[in-house]
Amino acid sequence: MTERLFEGADWDFHTLQRITDACEEVALKDLGLDVYPNQIEVITAEQMLDAYSSVGMPLFYKHWSFGKHFAFHEASYRKGLMGLAYEIVINSSPCISYLMEENTATMQTLVIAHAAFGHNHFFKNNYLFKQWTDADGILDYLDFAKNYVATCEERYGRVEVERTLDAAHALMSHGIDRYPGKKKLDLRAEEKRAGRRRQHEEEVFNDLWRTVPKGAAKSRSALSIERRRKLLGLPQENLLYFLEKSAPRLAPWQRELLRIVRHIAQYFYPQSQTKVMNEGTATYVHYRIMTKLHQQGRITDGNFLEFLGSHTNVVFQPEFDDPRFSGFNPYALGFAVMQDIERIVTKAEDEDREWFPDIAGKGDVMGVLRDVWANYRDESFIGQFLSPKLMRHFRMFHLHDDPEERAGIRVDAIHDERGFRRVRRELARQHDVGFIDANIEVVDVDLSGDRRLILHHHVIKSSQLNETDAKRVLQHLADLWTYDVALIEVDANDKVLREYIVSPRPIPAAA
Amino acid sequence: MAIHIIDRRLNPGGKSLENRQRFLRRAKSLVQGAVKKTSQERDIKDVLEGGEVTIPLDGMHEPRFRREGGTRDMVLPGNKKFIEGDYLQRSGQGSAKDSGPGEGDSEDAFRFVLSRDEFVDLFLDDLELPDLAKRKMADTESEGFQRAGYTMTGSPANISISRTVQLALARRIALRRPRKDEMEELEAEIAECSDEAKRAELISKLEKLRSKAKRIPYIDPLDIRYRRFETVPRPVAQAVMFCLMDVSGSMSEHMKDLAKRFYMLLYVFLKRRYKHVEIVFIRHTDRAEEVDEQTFFYGPASGGTLVSSALQAMHEIVRERFNPADWNIYAAQASDGDNSYSDGELTGMLLTDKILPVCQFFAYLEVGESGGSAFDLSDSSLWTLYERLRSSGASLSMRKVSERSEIFPVFHDLFQRRETTQEKAAP
């Protein structure tokens, strides 16, 4: 029988230390987790609001949109419309977790187990995070970004910088490489490289070059369409990358800003693809750790009940006709699937053996789970591990809403023998970012002609772009490109559904 | 593994302040509109409190490529009675289901809370009131004391010991007054000295030192310094604002509303410059009474019109409660301009002799019905009277207003003109 970690609701920093040590013991020994070093920071509600407005990061460049989010969150928080998160955790090394000072001792234990061990393990081991993010470098890079933006504002004016950032933010969701490139992003090197490049430019600057007569322009036919496309790396779905490399009239600092926004978007890309898994992992881990601590007698029954109360709230899944329903709760779904995996591995039934021959009855729960956490993302995770039993538990069904269909919305599949696979495939698809985001790519640009940039939106399931927003984003795009931009929405048969053409706004008083 | 636990609670807050300011700057015109709209619904005293404003999201929108419409597939939990192949009606239940992971930004209006300072800044920014009437304020300053160096004379209570000792030390060093330990050392040497001749020499040396120490005092009256104080004018930090209004039957709701707006601006303006602002409401028909704000604007009253009664009441209140030496007195009178003819002389006399001398600023606002038809007619009796007083040198500000939209410009104009006339007079 071990000593209690704490009594009642109060905690101090020694308590936090004891709690963290106890959690760590369970996490490393019993669950075999592999985590970054932890850094736990206690913050106030106001600081939490601050963190909300800069996407949770401890430092970020200044931009009005963050102020807007802050004002919005603050207003709803003050009115009591919104509670604050218990914690925020940052994918960095050391892994920083923010804890709210208002949490009770039980909540702090829950939060430490959840963030400092659950999320932390996931960040360190999941292949997407390994591939796309650089936990060691992110804080330095953000610091660089912040200073770089500030320096640009000093040199080129706040309005100019804001204009560029606004445009870059609008294109942020299309500034991501979806397929692994040649090398992993090394943000520290990135930062040094940017510095060196600027220095080089300044060193070799010679105004005389401007006066050297240029040779005759190459004839239009010299560059075949094929070659041109290849030179520009087309088609290119990373719009920010394309602009950074190929936009004809951007200043070097503007390209660097686009690069910064692109890198940050890329950093968050894995998080959007693993919401269910990430939260599921953290919830599963905190549940295991808390249960263990309770078994060891380090947490009183009362505190354990308090924990169960919060835990149940977190994994609550309202049904579709409930007013509280707003899609699947990633905590609920992730946690349920992981618990189900535990069940399959330990107490497999015939059905499970048929559906999951690889893991059914294997016995080593943590081994299987660690492998799942490392090698899957939401789409593949749901697509492979959602069991019929769980579909029955959630009573899932699949609706197909075709606007052409007069009779209404068709129930396409339900949780029965005929429907399991279809329901599961469809739910997996709902969690596929590649499927959710509009598929837009640069297909061509007439560099020797009017330099019009041509983009295609490949329309899936006849779901087109929201017109107002599309026009605004394209306006931003045209401003960066500084020539006309055309966006053509085509369906699977290359039939043109809609065409947008936007001209850049004149730049008032060019710098 | 090392675990760092850091207490960040003491870190300076307001990390988002700069972002917030950027946001406000960007949304300035929108927020300003919202501020004006909000302030119209408030009581005078509350106008300064910050508060929630709502601005249209348009312009503050952060666009993204979003897909919408088309064929949709969704998997939902909680099936109760559906089986494959069923059809659901689109209305009601069906449409409620498309609330996918909600876009937080999709609401068209945006509500947030402005702090008090932000609110007032935005409120006054539009008014362009640069340091107005500062010169006026300088007139009514009271005297205060402030330390100003040292002096050779003064009362013993004001002796500055540190400065005195400092000077004495400097003088003693400069005049080479022997130090005490120097003499003690010599005495000890004499006591130990066996050689007579040497001893006599030492004794004479000691005597010399002693007499020198006697001649050069430890502290000389010359050293003594007193702390010096200077009187400096200190602006009076409190102000009182008199709101005088004619509430006789001829004043319509519209006119009262115009007056209220004007008072509100004046209050905000004063509040920005004085720590403490009191408001006295005096309403009058043919007799005057001091009332609270609610009664002032909305209480029913009827009767004739005697402006002098209000001025008399104000004069009495000033005499009883607001000593002009301690208070900055501002007065604003609103009326439709009617006054009984026989009252003119008394009003004029009260104003020039009693009221204006104690006032920082006296504004007369003649409110008219919307449409301005009143101004096509000849000037009202009160206007004529005040005009005459002004031409004979009384410092009165007067304006006519008949539309809500005129209030801001008129308020601006009132102060603006005052400044320019003074500047004209200066060279």
- Chain-chain contact of B23 with A67 (C-beta, under 8 angstroms): yes
For residue B14, tell me if it sits in a domain: no
For residue B279, tell me if it sits in a domain: yes
Domain that holds residue B306: 134-138+235-425
d(CA A51, CA A44): 10
| Judgement on whether residues B215 and B118 belong to the same structural domain of the protein | no
Residues of B with CB below 8 A from A468's CB?
63
Give the one of B14, B68, B79 whose C-beta lies nearest to A395's C-beta.
Answer: B79
**With bands split at pLDDT 50, 70 and 90, how would you rate the model's confidence at B72?**
confident
| Segment A420-446 mean pLDDT | 85
d(CA B238, CA B274): 5
| Segment A72-95 mean pLDDT | 77
How deeply is B357 buried, as exposed, middle or buried, from its count of CB atoms within 10 A (0-12, 13-18, 19+)? exposed
Chain position carrying tokens 């120097």: B182
Q: What is the pLDDT of residue A327?
A: 85
A509 — alpha (psi -120 to 50), left (phi > 0) or beta? left
For residue B251, report the phi and psi dihedrals to the nearest 5 degrees: -85, 120
- Chain-chain contact of A472 with B101 (C-beta, under 8 angstroms): no
Q: What is the pLDDT of residue B236?
A: 61
**With bands split at pLDDT 50, 70 and 90, how would you rate the model's confidence at B419?**
very low
Give chain A's end-to-end CA distance (angstroms, integer).
73
When scoring A14, A23, A172, A320 by the number of chain B Cβ atoms within 10 A, the one with the most, hence best to mutate, is A320
**With bands split at pLDDT 50, 70 and 90, how would you rate the model's confidence at A181?**
low
| Segment B345-358 mean pLDDT | 82
Give the one of A402, A411, A426 whose C-beta lies nearest to B85's C-beta.
Answer: A411
| Judgement on whether residues B170 and B276 belong to the same structural domain of the protein | no
| Segment A88-115 mean pLDDT | 88
d(CA B63, CA A317): 31
| Segment B10-37 mean pLDDT | 76
Q: What is the pLDDT of residue B106?
A: 40
Min Cα separation A36/chain B (Å): 9
Indicate the DSSP class of residue B45: G
For residue B26, tell me if it sits in a domain: yes
| Segment B116-137 mean pLDDT | 54
Indicate the DSSP class of residue A462: T
Give the one of A24, A64, A318 whose C-beta lies nearest to B22's C-beta.
Answer: A64
Name the token pair of A345.
């591995």
Indicate the DSSP class of residue B400: E
B420, pLDDT greater than 50: no
Q: What is the pLDDT of residue B88?
A: 81
Nearest to B39 by CA among B53, B27, B28: B53
Q: What is the pLDDT of residue A335?
A: 94
| Judgement on whether residues B243 and B388 belong to the same structural domain of the protein | yes
Nearest to A432 by CA among A277, A304, A303: A277
| Segment B12-37 mean pLDDT | 76
d(CA A167, CA A473): 7
d(CA B81, CA B86): 10
When scoring A68, A102, A121, A426 by the number of chain B Cβ atoms within 10 A, the one with the most, hence best to mutate, is A68
A401, pLDDT greater than 50: yes
| Judgement on whether residues B259 and B399 belong to the same structural domain of the protein | yes
Nearest to B62 by CA among A159, A67, A455, A431: A67
| Judgement on whether residues B213 and B340 belong to the same structural domain of the protein | no
d(CA A150, CA A147): 5
For residue B279, the domain's CATH number is 3.40.50.410
Q: Which of B35-39, B177-181, B359-363 has the highest mean pLDDT?
A: B177-181
- Chain-chain contact of B71 with A402 (C-beta, under 8 angstroms): yes
Nearest to A243 by CA among A264, A257, A227, A222: A257
What number of residues does chain A have?
Answer: 511
Q: Which of B228, B262, B280 is the last residue of a domain?
A: B228
For residue B24, tell me if it sits in a domain: yes
Of the two residues B145 and B14, the one the predictor is more confident about is B145
| Segment A243-271 mean pLDDT | 88
Of A285-294, B31-40, B194-203, where does mean pLDDT reach its minimum? Answer: B31-40
Amino acid, res. B3: I
Nearest to A84 by CA among A35, A43, A119: A43
| Judgement on whether residues B195 and B274 belong to the same structural domain of the protein | no
Nearest to B110 by CA among B158, B55, B161, B147: B55
d(CA A123, CA A92): 8
- Chain-chain contact of A411 with B8 (C-beta, under 8 angstroms): no
| Segment B13-19 mean pLDDT | 75
- Chain-chain contact of A328 with B1 (C-beta, under 8 angstroms): no
d(CA A270, CA A185): 13
Cross-strand bridge partners of residue B7 = A42
B424, pLDDT greater than 70: no
| Segment B235-251 mean pLDDT | 78
Confidence (pTM): 0.68
Amino acid, res. A53: S
Total domains in the fold of chain B = 3
**H helix runs in A356-418, sequence order:** 365-375, 378-385, 388-394
d(CA B5, CA A16): 8
Min Cα separation B76/chain A (Å): 5
Q: What is the pLDDT of residue A340?
A: 92
Give the one of B8, B18, B68 whose C-beta lies nearest to A62's C-beta.
Answer: B18
When scoring A48, A64, A100 by the number of chain B Cβ atoms within 10 A, the one with the most, hence best to mutate, is A64
A80 — alpha (psi -120 to 50), left (phi > 0) or beta? left
A207, pLDDT greater than 60: yes
Of the two residues A448 and B168, the one the predictor is more confident about is B168
d(CA B323, CA B182): 66
B365, pLDDT greater than 80: yes
Average predicted confidence (pLDDT) for chain B: 75
Q: What would the pLDDT profile of A30-55 be if each residue is shown by its tens digit?
A: 899 999 999 998 888 888 888 877 77
| Segment A87-92 mean pLDDT | 86
Chain position carrying tokens 């929630």: B52
- Chain-chain contact of B66 with A466 (C-beta, under 8 angstroms): yes
B94, pLDDT greater than 60: no
| Segment A326-348 mean pLDDT | 91
Give the one of A16, A399, A403 whose C-beta lies nearest to B74's C-beta.
Answer: A399
Percent of chain A whose predicted confidence (pLDDT) is above 70: 93
For residue B144, tell me if it sits in a domain: no
Contacts of B161 (CB under 8 A, 6+ apart): none
For residue B8, tell me if it sits in a domain: no
A-to-B residue pairs, Cβ atoms closer than 8 angstroms: 266
Q: Which of A297-306, B1-10, B96-105 has the highest mean pLDDT?
A: A297-306
Angle (nearest 5°) at CA A64 between A60 and A70: 75
Q: Which helix (H) or strand (E) holds A152?
A: helix A138-156
Of A224-238, A388-402, B159-173, B191-205, where does mean pLDDT reach its minimum? Answer: A224-238
| Segment B330-358 mean pLDDT | 82
Of A340-354, A367-381, B277-291, where does mean pLDDT reach its minimum? Answer: B277-291
Name the token pair of B36.
């004006």
Q: What would the pLDDT profile of A284-331 be if each residue is shown by its tens digit?
A: 999 999 999 999 988 999 999 999 998 998 888 988 888 888 888 899
Of A12-16, A461-465, B277-281, B421-425, where does mean pLDDT reach its minimum? Answer: B421-425
How deeply is A337 buried, as exposed, middle or buried, from its count of CB atoms within 10 A (0-12, 13-18, 19+)? buried
Residues of A with CB below 8 A from B73's CB?
398-401, 412, 426, 429-430, 461
| Segment B135-164 mean pLDDT | 75
Chain B CA closest to residue A39: B4
Of the two residues B158 and A509, the one the predictor is more confident about is B158
d(CA B222, CA B183): 25
Nearest to B245 by CA among B122, B335, B338, B344: B335
B153, pLDDT greater than 50: yes
Chain position carrying tokens 């080129």: A156
Residues of B with CB below 8 A from A322's CB?
78
Min Cα separation A217/chain B (Å): 37
Q: Which of B204, B228, B252 is the last residue of a domain?
A: B228
Name the token pair of A115.
């963030």
- Chain-chain contact of B84 with A472 (C-beta, under 8 angstroms): no
Contacts of A216 (CB under 8 A, 6+ apart): none
Nearest to A92 by CA among A141, A51, A137, A61: A137
Residue B310: count of CB within 10 angstroms of its CB: 28
| Judgement on whether residues B208 and B241 belong to the same structural domain of the protein | no
When scoring B9, B72, B75 by the number of chain A Cβ atoms within 10 A, the one with the most, hence best to mutate, is B75
d(CA B268, CA B121): 10
Q: What is the pLDDT of residue A341?
A: 93
B70, pLDDT greater than 50: yes
**With bands split at pLDDT 50, 70 and 90, how would you rate the model's confidence at A371?**
very high
Average predicted confidence (pLDDT) for chain A: 85
Q: What is the pLDDT of residue A285?
A: 93
Contacts of B179 (CB under 8 A, 6+ apart): none
For residue B192, tell me if it sits in a domain: yes
Cross-strand bridge partners of residue B284 = B246, B288
Nearest to B373 by CA among B403, B340, B343: B403
Contacts of B419 (CB under 8 A, 6+ apart): B132, B133, B135
| Judgement on whether residues B245 and B390 belong to the same structural domain of the protein | yes
Min Cα separation A13/chain B (Å): 8
Of the two residues A344 and B414, the one the predictor is more confident about is A344
| Judgement on whether residues B367 and B267 belong to the same structural domain of the protein | yes
Name the token pair of A215.
């040779």
| Segment B178-197 mean pLDDT | 85
Of the two residues B165 and B19, the one the predictor is more confident about is B165
Q: What is the pLDDT of residue B232?
A: 74
**H helix runs in B240-342, sequence order:** 253-273, 293-298, 307-321
Percent of chain B whose predicted confidence (pLDDT) is above 90: 4
**H helix runs in A157-238, sequence order:** 158-170, 187-204, 225-231
- Chain-chain contact of A317 with B77 (C-beta, under 8 angstroms): yes
Percent of chain A whose predicted confidence (pLDDT) is above 90: 22
Q: What would the pLDDT profile of B258-296 be if each residue is shown by its tens digit?
A: 887 788 777 777 776 666 778 888 888 878 888 887 888
Q: Which of B175, B208, B228 is the last residue of a domain?
A: B228
- Chain-chain contact of A409 with B101 (C-beta, under 8 angstroms): no
Of A495-504, B168-177, B293-302, where does mean pLDDT reach its minimum? Answer: B293-302
**With bands split at pLDDT 50, 70 and 90, how would you rate the model's confidence at B26?**
confident
Whether residue A42 contacts residue A123, with contact meaning beta carbons closer than 8 Å, is answered with no
Give the one of B8, B19, B77 whose C-beta lies nearest to A396's C-beta.
Answer: B77
How deeply is B305 buried, as exposed, middle or buried, from its count of CB atoms within 10 A (0-12, 13-18, 19+)? buried
| Segment A125-153 mean pLDDT | 88
A149, pLDDT greater than 60: yes
- Chain-chain contact of B6 with A72 (C-beta, under 8 angstroms): no
Per-position b or e across A192-222, b if 16+ CB within 10 A of its CB: eebeeeeeeeeeeeeeeeeeeeeeeeeeeee
Q: What is the pLDDT of residue B73?
A: 83
Of A16-20, A469-473, B90-94, B387-391, where does mean pLDDT reach its minimum? Answer: B90-94
Beta-carbon-side half-sphere exposure of residue B154 (alpha carbons within 13 Å): 16
Strands (E), A369-504: 397-401, 409-414, 440-445, 453-458, 464-465, 485-490, 496-502
Q: What is the pLDDT of residue B375?
A: 52
For residue B41, tell me if it sits in a domain: yes
| Segment B3-7 mean pLDDT | 80
Give the one of B65, B76, B111 whose C-beta lies nearest to A465's C-beta.
Answer: B65
Q: Which of A327-341, B3-17, B50-64, B203-217 has the highest mean pLDDT?
A: A327-341
Q: What is the pLDDT of residue A292?
A: 92
Beta-carbon-side half-sphere exposure of residue A155 (alpha carbons within 13 Å): 10
Residues of B with CB below 8 A from A418's CB?
84
